[in-house]
Structures are given as C-alpha cells and as structure tokens.
A and B are shown apart, each in its own frame.
Chain A
Amino acid sequence: EDQVTQSPEALRLQEGESSSLNCSYTVSGLRGLFWYRQDPGKGPEFLFTLYSAGEEKEKERLKATLTKKESFLHITAPKPEDSATYLCAVRYGGSQGNLIFGKGTKLSVKP
C-alpha cells in the first residue's frame, strides 16, 4: 500500500537550534513531493514542490531536499513563528493528481 510517513511526530526546539524533519514515501512513480505548513485552525499553506532526487528548494530558514525514498525539511536557526505542523504529501503516477499526506510533524520553537 502506498504510504507517506513523517517523523518525528512532534519536535521541540529552542530558538536558534537547527534540526530536520523527515518524510519517507513508498509510492510508485513519484510525480512530485510537496511540503506544507499548517497552523492551528487553518488550511495547509504551500511551501515547496520537489520532483526528482537531488533537487533542493529553499525559502528563508527552510530548505527541502529529496532522495529516491525520502525528503528532509531542514530548519536553520528557527524562530518561535516557525512553530506549526509541517505536512508532507506525494503525488504519484497512479493517481489523478490527488495527494497522499503524511500525518505531519508538530514543531514547537521556544524562545
């Protein structure tokens, strides 16, 4: 069964303490891996799309990377406002474009 697994489920960091979130996937024919940020009570906010192994994307303190089996979201020197749930999703060859989501990593950054 196609799956997307994110780890850890929750991560607590001190402000300025860099870390990485993991997303592993087991779909056939990856057609894109997507990272989203979701704040409580809101809809997911699009961050990045990655299409092929070796690709990297950056935005402010966030950097997303992709291998053949997993993706990492690196957070450099996080700030309290980076606290949110980060969702990973994949689009695969057998779908009509719908996304399969992981359960997310809840990030808390303490000042």
Chain B
Amino acid sequence: NAGVMQNPRHLVRRRGQEARLRCSPMKGHSHVYWYRQLPEEGLKFMVYLQKENIIDESGMPKERFSAEFPKEGPSILRIQQVVRGDSAAYFCASLGQMGEQYFGPGTRLTVT
C-alpha cells in the first residue's frame, strides 16, 4: 500500500523562478492538505483541496502561491517568482477515514 508521494524531494530555484511541487495522495484518498515548515517553526497549514476543488486556502499567501488538484494526476503547489523567504520544507498530507492525516516525505525548496 503506497504512501503519500511527493516530488521532487529537493528543489533548488533562483530568485524569480517558478517552483512546482507535486503530491500524490494515498490510494483511494481524494483530499489533500499542504503545509509549510520553516526552520525552527512548526508546520503551518496552507491549503486544503479535494479533486477539482479548493476547500480552504486561508493559509495560502495571497500572491505568488497557487494550488490545484485535477481530476487526473497529482496535486500541484505552484510558487511563482520565488524569493529567499520561500525556502522551506513543503509537506502534503492525505486525509484518512478518521480525520488523521498521513504525510509525505516533503519537498525541500531552496531559493538561491
């Protein structure tokens, strides 16, 4: 039973470039959460998606960040015109039947 998959595991971007992070939830799961973890900080909620629908994006910065979860394929978190402050670990989580969330291994974004 495959777990949550994220790729790439590590991503280096120069300031001003775009970053695309992908997440495939556990088999049979159709709800995905994205979180960001800054050094020495806790995990912070960004966005909650269902297939073809954004349920809650209250934690997403208003500019440069967007997310989608198409009918086919992985969920994508997109960061346009990256800045150094975007350097962090980004995790997605798949929603289990009892409300628990199962996390992927994360994508570590470094902006140079």
Contact = CB atoms under 8 A, between A and B. Distances in A.
Interface residues on A, range: 20 to 34
Interface residues of B, number: 28
A30 to B, nearest CB: 12
A42 B43 contact: no
B60 to A, nearest CB: 11
Given A49-B99, A99-B45, A44 B33 contact: no
A87 B105 contact: no
Interface in A3-57: 4, 31-32, 34, 36, 41-46, 49
Given A45-B103, A99-B43, 18 more contacts: A32-B100, A36-B103, A42-B106, A43-B4, A43-B91, A46-B100, A46-B101, A46-B102, A49-B99, A97-B31, A97-B33, A97-B48, A97-B95, A97-B99, A98-B33, A98-B45, A98-B59, A99-B33
7 contacts: A44-B43, A96-B55, A97-B31, A97-B48, A98-B45, A98-B48, A101-B43
